[in-house]
Amino acid sequence: MSDPITSTEAVQVSVKVKKEAGTVAQFLALTKPRIYIAIAITALMGLALQKDFTQYSFWITLSLVVSTILASAGGAVLNHYFERDTDSLMDRTKDRPLVTGSIASPKQALYFGWAITILGNLLCYVTLGAWATFWLFLGFFTYVFVYTLWVKHRSQWNVTLGGLCSSFAVLAGDTAISGEISTNGIILSFLLFFWNPAHFWNLAVLFQKDYAKAGIPMLPHMVGRKNTQWFILLHVVLTVASSIFLGIFGSPGSFYLIVASIAGVLLILANIQNLFLLSDKTFRRNFICANMYLMILFIGIALDFFV
């Protein structure tokens, strides 16, 4: 028969462990893992398009990925901190940790966000140099101060300016080796700049009532579904054009160009079709298609090395 004191202590330890594990999970949720992984991949693509990329040290690649993850995760945490009151008004965001009180002190999130941001930028500076750090920090600054604190609540073009974060991540990767911006980096950064609104506005249509309730001037509830779809189509065409320019004027070869052309035509056709449908189903489908399109492009870039 077990000692009752020992059993009580065991229960207390178990509760403490579960509570700490829960807290760690809540802080991890603040970092928006899906977003920082996506941004790290875009930075990696900027690096991978460099001449003789495979000959460079594995540690350069690892440093870029880790520093980008830390800096973008820090930006996400600060976004949660500054947007916690607005998040409480929206069904889409009302379950976030700083809204529900899962993290008792918002200041803990504030300190955590700044800590990992500074760590990421210091790592980048020490291992990759000043230019890569400049673009990495500019991406963080744009997301937190330009997008979150300035244009998000003031302009229907908030997502367009917010999309610069991905473009700057590309340039961080592009300058990580030589410190110079290449043709590849310029074209790919434009591609991400055009892709981001085309991708996000599909999602914003699905939550336009949420954004209207929170007083955020997202394009769909400012101009309506039809006009939003025209803007999406315009950005899709510019995105696809940028992907073709990358194959013609950049490093990727004919294999990438074929992949980009096929994927681009399919994405354009899907968005033309939506001009006549404008349903939640098709906006959701095109949101998924935009994500898949970018993934296919990146796979095409990677496979082009071996074809």
* Tens-digit pLDDT string for the chain (307 aa): 445 555 555 434 443 444 444 588 899 999 999 999 999 999 999 998 887 777 777 899 999 999 999 999 999 999 999 999 999 999 989 999 999 988 888 999 999 999 999 999 999 999 999 999 999 999 999 999 999 999 999 999 999 998 899 999 999 999 999 899 999 999 999 999 999 999 999 999 999 999 999 999 999 999 999 999 999 999 999 999 999 999 999 999 899 999 999 999 999 999 999 999 999 999 999 999 999 999 999 999 989 877 7
**How is domain 182-307 classified at the architecture level of CATH?**
Up-down Bundle (1.20)
Is residue 196 a contact partner of residue 156, using CB atoms and an 8 Å limit? no
Residue ranges covered by each domain of the chain: 17-177, 182-307
For residue 255, count CB atoms less than 10 angstroms from its CB and return exposed for 0-12, middle for 13-18, buried for 19 or more. Answer: middle
pLDDT value for 22 = 53
300: which 2 tokens? 């095409």
pLDDT of residue 192: 97
CA angle 234, 240, 245 (to 5 degrees): 125
Of the CA atoms within 13 Å of residue 206, those in its CB half-sphere come to 15
Q: Which pLDDT belongs to residue 6? A: 57
Structure tokens at 164: 């610069």
Q: What is the pLDDT of residue 56?
A: 76
The pTM assigned to this predicted structure is 0.89
Residue 304 is predicted with a pLDDT of 86
Q: Which two tokens stand for residue 158?
A: 């908030």
Q: Which residue has the tokens 């020992």?
A: 6
Determine the pLDDT at residue 11: 38
C-alpha neighbours within 13 Å on the C-beta side of residue 74: 24
Task: For domain 17-177, give the fold.
Answer: Tetracycline Repressor; domain 2 (1.10.357)
- Please report the pLDDT score of residue 19 as a whole number: 46
**Please, are residues 192 and 170 in contact by the beta-carbon 8 Å criterion?**
yes
Give me 214's structure tokens: 């929170």
- pLDDT of 3 reads 54
Residue type at position 233: L
Give the Cα separation of 148 and 188 in Å (integer).
24
Both tokens assigned to 281: 């189903």
